[in-house]
Amino acid sequence: MRDAPLFDWDSMKNNEDEMSRILTHFDLLVTTINPNPDTPVPDRHPCQKDNTELCDNIQDYIELVNKLQKHTRCSPSYCLRFKDGEQYCRFGFPKDKVEHSFIYENDRG
């Protein structure tokens, strides 16, 4: 990412000031606000609209966010799995809303 601060994970993960600096920079660049999260996902993908159909208004934005920023197709053939008799989404959905970015280390590095 252009102009992004460089960082070394091993030195950063235990340095609260460095972590804060990186996350502040990231939060300034990457943000999604859903003005109407209860809007139904449109049948037609918003990216399939012709330029003449776009009004460049809040409704276009709402449709994009609700289509592209949500996981809406849980099915056994796609993401649903069973573990210990419980069904779960292999992508971890639904996810909680977060107010700020975070970085964490998981079992994959």
pTM of the model: 0.54
* pLDDT, position 41: 80
Task: For residue range 76-88, list pLDDT tens digits in order.
Answer: 888 999 999 999 9
Dihedral over Cα of 13, 100, 32, 90: its sign: positive
The stretch 28-43 carries a mean pLDDT of: 82
Mean pLDDT of the chain: 83
The stretch 67-75 carries a mean pLDDT of: 78
Give the helix, strand, coil percentages of the chain, each rounded to 5: 30, 5, 60
* pLDDT, position 109: 55
Q: Out of 15-24, 32-41, 66-75, give the one with best mean pLDDT.
A: 15-24
